[in-house]
A and B are shown apart, each in its own frame.
Chain A
């Protein structure tokens, strides 16, 4: 399931719901992305996430389908927020449920790597030096590319 929303989410309730009623599930893996208070060497007081409505949901759904193709998953959840956030706020939740932990953990890792390079979101940071757009990281591209030959 994919959700793109302005509102915060309740991690406990979301994970509970993901596995509820399905006793085939032996493991739930999750990743939670938070707003950091530093960007490079500058203090960040707020972060605004912009996205491309329509394409965001489409790309996330494609990534979800690809995860199901690669691993035996019983459930996938991706919640990504947009709008203005503050240090410590949750940005993203990726959660996967599978009969065994290996699939759940690998799929969760895959989903967040792909999301970072494929989903059309952009971050703008508010710092003492002014507002600036976050630059993409070569490490993120490399993290996504390593999945092209796996599993």
Chain B
């Protein structure tokens, strides 16, 4: 173990590296969060959609406000609807939006 490693939390041992993903927000979620898209590096312990939503809520501010009621939040990964258990992988395009109202 090097001096650098000693400062890291033990729970990171054996976990995967950070995962870069692209996040897109639409409609009132975009308005409340205050941005349409962003690139983020998911921390190694965020493994699925549920984990991502938890982590976004924990950022507070517009994120917490936009994601307060997850029953009105839909998620698509690479342009297909997915459930909360869907795993996230490097390079995924994750879109977060309210129920659709077209037609």
Contacts and interface: CB of A to CB of B under 8 A. Distances in A.
Interface of A: 33, 49-52, 54-55, 58-59, 80, 91-92, 112, 115-124, 133-136, 140
A52 B26 CA distance: 8
Contact of B103 (A50, A55, A115, A135): A115
Interface of B: 24, 26-28, 31, 76, 79-81, 95, 97-103
6 contacts: A52-B79, A52-B97, A115-B103, A122-B26, A124-B27, A136-B99
B100 A122 contact: yes
Contacts of B79: 52, 54-55, 58-59
A122 B24 contact: no
B98 A136 contact: yes
Contact of A121 (B28, B76, B101): B101
B28 A112 contact: no
Contact of A112 (B27, B97, B100, B103): B103
Given A55-B95, A58-B79, A50 B100 contact: no
Contacts, number: 71
Given A55-B76, A58-B79, A120-B97, A80 B102 contact: yes
Nearest to A131: B31
Contacts of A51: 102
A33 B103 contact: yes
B103 A120 contact: no
Contacts of B97: 52, 120, 122
Nearest to B95: A52
A80 B81 CA distance: 20
CB-CB nearest 3 A-B residue pairs: A121-B102, A136-B99, A122-B27
Contact of B26 (A33, A50, A92): A50
B102 A122 contact: yes
Nearest to A62: B80
B95 A117 contact: no
